[in-house]
């Protein structure tokens, strides 16, 4: 890592603005797709894999007016699912000359390198979350085996791209996908949290340009709403929550080079129906309610500082993380849509 601070020629007298004009990167909304909205700090030092214990049940009963001599038995099957972990590392090296150079422009060398390393680590975590380190092994949310993968169908006018799609039809299609996730996960009738992440250009279109016609949707006081506003309203009617996020790495990641829209229900609630509960086996504890998750071994990267020759400093930053892991793939929809 280098500090490039060239000499400057300035006119005097002059005024120097004290704030730094920084390069801003996109703050990814991908982490809203997983349970709690953040990686779970569960891993121990050096853990190379994560396992989840899984129980499947098959129930059988015998029904008759008289007691039978032979009765069927319930079957409980145990198995495990797993995913590997990966160590993310980066380093910074600087000496007193670098410190003096950045100091002349009012920036801290230590803080600048620390934040730069953290940003690189978090961006790599995002890559692991969405795409995994080994996609052929089903790592990453976009490579989840069993997830619902669909293409955006043609609207009533035959359009198949977001920029030309009928806005009302697009809103209804997104609501249909959200409803189908609730059906697949047995969540109909219960409030749920959803997260949708897509490229900025699609999010901008459905938020600012995609106005739904008045004949399709009317709100209080007359008028109309955008695609996003209509979806927000319908979910609010059902006491659901929704988070919209952007991530431009999803451009071109859909089928045939289209853009990818990821619809996730990060957590599931335990279906229950009063005293007579046909989902009684789910009362077994402890139960995992996450549908998609990522695990790490620490809340923030660890920084290891060591001296180098000639008075320089070496800082190594490291964090261990899993890829994105959709343990309940029925709660994940991958929508490919051309822009």
| pLDDT at residue 217, as a whole number | 54
pTM: 0.92
| pLDDT at residue 266, as a whole number | 98
Q: Which of 257, 231, 251 is nearest to 242 (CA)?
A: 231
Q: Are strands 302-307 and 313-322 parallel, antiparallel or unpaired?
A: antiparallel
| pLDDT at residue 69, as a whole number | 87
Q: What is the pLDDT along the chain (339 residues), one digit of tens a residue?
A: 578 888 889 999 999 999 999 989 999 999 999 999 999 999 999 999 999 999 999 999 999 999 988 899 999 999 999 999 999 999 999 999 989 989 888 899 999 999 999 999 999 999 999 999 999 999 999 999 999 999 999 999 999 999 999 998 999 999 999 999 999 999 999 999 999 999 999 999 999 986 776 555 555 544 578 899 999 999 999 999 999 999 999 999 999 999 999 999 999 999 887 789 999 999 999 999 999 999 999 999 999 999 999 999 999 999 999 999 999 999 999 999 999
Q: Which residues contact 90 (CB under 8 A, 6 or more apart)?
A: 117, 120, 121, 316, 317, 318
Q: How far is CA 68 from the centre of its chain?
A: 53
Q: How far is CA 142 from the centre of its chain?
A: 10
| pLDDT at residue 222, as a whole number | 44
Q: Which residues contact 294 (CB under 8 A, 6 or more apart)?
A: 31, 34, 39, 40, 125, 128, 129, 321, 322, 323, 324, 325
**CATH 3.90.1690 given to domain 30-48+85-337:** yes
| pLDDT at residue 221, as a whole number | 43
């Amino acid at each position: 890592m280098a500090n490039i601070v060239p000499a400057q020629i300035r006119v005097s007298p002059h005024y120097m603005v004290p704030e730094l004009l920084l390069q801003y990167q996109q703050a990814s909304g991908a982490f809203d797709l997983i349970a709690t909205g953040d990686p779970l700090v569960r891993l121990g030092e050096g853990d190379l894999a994560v396992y989840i214990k899984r129980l499947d049940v098959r129930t059988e009963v015998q029904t008759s007016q008289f007691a039978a001599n032979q009765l069927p038995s319930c079957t409980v099957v145990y198995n495990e699912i797993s995913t590997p972990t990966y160590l993310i590392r980066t380093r910074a090296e600087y000496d007193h000359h670098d410190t003096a150079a950045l100091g002349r422009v009012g920036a801290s060398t230590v803080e600048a390198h620390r934040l730069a390393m953290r940003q690189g680590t978090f961006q790599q975590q995002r890559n692991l979350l969405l795409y995994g380190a080994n996609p052929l092994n089903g790592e990453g949310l976009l490579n989840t085996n069993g997830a619902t993968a669909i293409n955006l169908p043609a609207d009533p006018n035959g359009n198949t791209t977001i920029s030309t799609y009928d806005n009302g039809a697009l809103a209804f299609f997104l609501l249909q996908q959200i409803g189908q996730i609730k059906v697949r996960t047995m969540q109909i009738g219960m409030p749920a949290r959803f997260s949708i992440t897509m490229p900025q250009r699609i999010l901008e279109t459905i938020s600012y340009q995609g106005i739904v016609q008045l004949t399709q949707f009317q709100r209080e006081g007359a008028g109309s709403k955008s695609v996003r506003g209509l979806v927000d309203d319908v979910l609010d009617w059902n006491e659901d929550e929704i988070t919209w996020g952007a991530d431009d790495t999803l451009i071109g990641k859909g089928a045939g080079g289209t853009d990818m829209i990821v619809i996730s229900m990060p957590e599931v609630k335990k279906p229950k129906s009063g005293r007579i509960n046909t989902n009684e086996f789910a009362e077994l504890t402890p139960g995992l309610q996450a549908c998609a998750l990522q695990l790490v071994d620490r809340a923030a990267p660890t920084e290891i500082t060591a001296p180098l020759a000639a008075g320089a400093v070496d800082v190594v930053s490291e964090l261990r993380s899993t890829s994105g892991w959709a343990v309940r793939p029925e709660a994940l929809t991958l929508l490919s849509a051309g822009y």
